[in-house]
Structure 1
Amino acid sequence: MSKNPNQEIPKWKQDFPLEQKEATHVSRREFAKFLTLLSGALAVGSTAIVVKSLAFPDQPLVGEHPICLESDVPLGESYMFEIEGSKTIPYLLINLGEGEWRAFEQKCTHLSCAVKYRHDLGQIECPCHKGYFNPRTGDVIQGPPPRPLPQLEVVLRDGMVLVKAQQV
């Protein structure tokens, strides 16, 4: 079938070209429009984050917060918890034995992966990149984490385990 130069190309063929070269062509104007919309969306998102942080600042952890009974966490075991009313940070409570308890943020300081206490190793492990922390101090033992785990002070009172912000 030969093309007749006098025939007009139908509108649908102009809108939906059949040749691959024409179908993937993006004009400079379309590309500039895309970049403008993308830049605008990023600016709006960044502004929203700044406004949220200024309008609703994080409240510091104040006072003591009951977590569980001492009998709920066996020797050498850990217990995951969140503190009601605070920002939703998961914490890890560890019973090291002989009245020695520790509580840490459960997010690794490397890439915020969830850490877990490994009683068999006697360490807190980040399974994502094999980082290890000291369960008594939260200090980094091995791996990529750059900082120790943030720690809460643990208080034992009348068989209850309570936590409060670590005094700096």
Structure 2
Amino acid sequence: MESQPKWREDFPINWEEDQAITRREFTKFLAFTSCGFFLGTGGTAVWEWAHRREPAGTVVVPIAQRDEVPVGGVKVFRYPTANDPCILIRLAPAQLVAYSQTCTHLSCPVHYEAERRQIRCPCHEGYFAVEDGRVLAGPPRRPLPRIVLSIRGAEIWAMEVKQG
């Protein structure tokens, strides 16, 4: 009698109970699975779009007193949240500007250089125009986000953040 290989003794297969999967059945399985993933992802996207929330409104915050910042002076404040440092600069008696203090390149803090009238990021020598926050030099590609200001009596208020 012909001897069976050792693995057949250890792993016997009952070929009558075995069910082969044809290429057609496997292709159907892949197609239905792909459709399921597509519909699931699309359904999630549609649900998110249908249930999106509008922003609760603009956060308006007093940031300084008018006489608190001298001409050429700077005040650091946080807006719109406590995790968002910003910089208020008084360029002239009636000219105030404010920007995010986070560089648009790699999020290093920027500083105002009064003698050059520029905002500088010391990490990679990025320079921004103090008048409008545009990039003057260095690796940053986007201007600094500007904080819209309002003066109400003796107070300076932050109204909203404008991107580039």
Fold similarity call, TM over 0.5: yes
Higher gyration radius (CA): 2
Instruction: Verify: 1:64 aligned to 2:65, yes or no.
Output: no
Tell me the amino acid that sits aligned with residue 134 of structure 2. Answer: D
**Superposition pairs of residues 71-82 of structure 1, within 5 angstroms:** 71-82=67-78
Over the aligned positions, Cα root-mean-square deviation in angstroms equals 2.3
Q: Secondary structure at the match of 1:71?
A: helix
Which stretches in structure 1 are left out of the alignment for 5+ residues?
1-53
- Superposed displacement of residue 82, structure 1: 0.8
The change in CA–CA distance for 1:60 and 1:94 in structure 2 (over 3 A counts) is farther
TM-score, normalised via structure 1 length: 0.60
Distance in 1 separating the partners of 2:107 and 2:160: 20
Structure 1 residue runs of 4+, over 6 Å off?
Answer: none
The 8 Å contact of residues 61 and 165 in structure 1, kept in 2 or not, is answered as no
Aligned with residue 83 of structure 2, among 88, 111, 128: 88
Residue correspondences, number: 111
Give 1:135's aligned amino acid: V
1:110 to 105, 108, 113: 105
- Structure 2 segments unaligned to the other structure (5+ residues): 1-47
SS in 1 for 2:67: helix
Query: In structure 2, do the counterparts of structure 1 residues 71 and 87 end up closer, same or farther at CA, with 3 Å as the change threshold?
Result: closer
Q: How do 1:146-161 residues align onto structure 2 when only pairs under 5 Å count?
A: 146-161=141-156
Q: Any idea what the Cα deviations from partners look like across 1:13-36, whole Å, max 9, x if unmatched? A: xxxxxxxxxxxxxxxxxxxxxxxx
1:80 partner letter: V
Question: What does the per-residue CA deviation read over 1:93-151, in whole Å, with 9 as the maximum and x for residues that have no partner?
Answer: 11011311111110000110000111011000001111110111000011111100001
So what's the TM-score if we normalise by structure 2? 0.62
Overall identity of the aligned pairs, in %: 35
Contact residue 77 and residue 85 of structure 2 kept, 8 A: yes
